[in-house]
């Protein structure tokens, strides 16, 4: 005798299509997400619409600020890579006492207000700190181009260290052991095995570091000042031009801000692509 399976009761209502449930849930999520998306994109769109790049091309202050920003951000990137790569490798491959403290120190500039970072640099290297000793030897750091680079390295280098560490940790340990078994030294293994496999993560970290240095404002203003043609970077020039409360100053600040927005948008896309390729090419074992 064949058994009969009783269908679950729906209370007289037709069973709802699962695809319909998913579409309704998706619609609710999209509607709930729209306020934040609109809030984030509307100011950027308004900034781009009001841009007049003719002021950017003809204004010497804007051109000088762009030149200083590109130069100092590039120098800060080189310094961050040179001093950050060994630290990232140390944190990724070795266990030692105080490692958690080192991790905290690296993360500190990411959450520390840039103005506070600039004040800390000013107190350390100003006349109340090492600046008095430096001035006795004919050197000065505060309110110079070197101060711009130092402020950028302070706030931007953690981005490279964290990304580089993730890239190094993603290199399979078996490959490094195989290289050592074949007689390669630690340095040769690092440059021939570890760096090539982690290259996309390293490049992504370098791109993010350069972008963060390019957009640095608070620490630069406190430690290097806002001297046009000397220490005035693009973010500082945006602030100075808008604070002038003149039509020309506002137009210049808008043009500079749009340049930073475009560069930042491109950098984020590039860094995401490189980081994604790094995760694919060097899976964690």
Question: Does 97 reside within a domain?
Answer: yes
Identify whether 30 is part of a domain.
no
pTM, 2 dp:
0.79
How sure is the predictor about 3, in pLDDT bands with cuts at 50, 70 and 90?
low
Residue 70: CB partners within 8 Å, gap ≥ 6?
214
Domain of 248, CATH number, reads 1.10.3720.10
Local confidence band at 240 (pLDDT 50, 70, 90 cut-offs)? confident
218 part of a folded domain: yes
| Residue 162, domain member (yes or no) | yes
Domain-located, residue 3 = no
Q: 39 in a domain, yes or no?
A: no
- Render pLDDT for 148-202 as a digit per residue (tens, 0 to 9): 999 999 999 999 999 999 999 988 888 888 888 888 888 888 888 899 999 888 9
Residue 6 within any structural domain of the chain: no
CA dist list (Å): 252 to 28, 32, 124, 220, 281: 41, 36, 34, 20, 43
Q: Is residue 150 part of a domain?
A: yes
**How far apart (Å, rounded) are the C-alpha atoms in residues 257 and 142?**
26
CA 139 – CA 206 distance, rounded (Å): 30
Residue 281 has pLDDT above 80, yes or no: no
- Tell me which residue range forms the domain holding 275: 77-281
Residues 6+ apart with CB under 8 A from 110: 158, 159
Total count of domains within the chain: 1
Q: What percent of the chain has pLDDT over 70?
A: 86
Radius of gyration of the chain (CA): 26
């Amino acid at each position: 005798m064949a058994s009969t399976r009783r269908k679950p009761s729906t209370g007289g209502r037709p069973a709802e299509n699962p695809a319909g449930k998913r579409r309704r849930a998706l619609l609710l999520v999209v509607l709930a997400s729209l306020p934040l998306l609109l809030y984030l994109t509307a100011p950027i769109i308004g900034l781009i619409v009001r841009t007049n790049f003719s002021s950017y091309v003809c204004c010497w202050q804007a051109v000088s600020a762009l030149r200083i920003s590109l130069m100092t951000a590039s120098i800060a990137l080189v310094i961050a890579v040179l001093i950050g790569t060994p630290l990232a490798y140390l944190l990724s491959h070795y266990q030692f006492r105080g490692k958690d403290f080192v991790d905290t120190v690296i993360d500190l500039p990411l959450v520390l207000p840039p103005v506070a970072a600039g004040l800390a640099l000013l107190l350390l290297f100003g006349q109340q700190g090492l600046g008095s000793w430096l001035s006795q030897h004919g050197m000065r750091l505060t309110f110079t181009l070197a101060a711009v680079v130092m402020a950028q390295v302070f706030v931007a280098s953690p981005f490279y260290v964290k990304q580089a560490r993730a890239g190094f940790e993603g290199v399979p340990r078996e490959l490094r052991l195989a290289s050592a078994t074949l007689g390669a030294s630690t340095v040769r293994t690092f440059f021939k095995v570890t760096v090539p496999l982690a290259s996309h993560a390293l490049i992504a970290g370098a791109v993010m570091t350069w972008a963060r240095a390019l957009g640095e404002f608070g620490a630069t203003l406190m430690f290097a000042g806002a001297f046009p043609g000397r220490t005035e970077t693009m973010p500082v020039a945006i602030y100075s031009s808008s604070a002038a409360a003149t039509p020309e100053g506002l137009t210049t600040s808008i043009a500079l801000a749009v340049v930073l927005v475009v560069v930042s948008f491109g950098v984020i896309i590039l860094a995401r692509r490189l980081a994604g390729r790094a995760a694919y090419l060097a899976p964690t074992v």
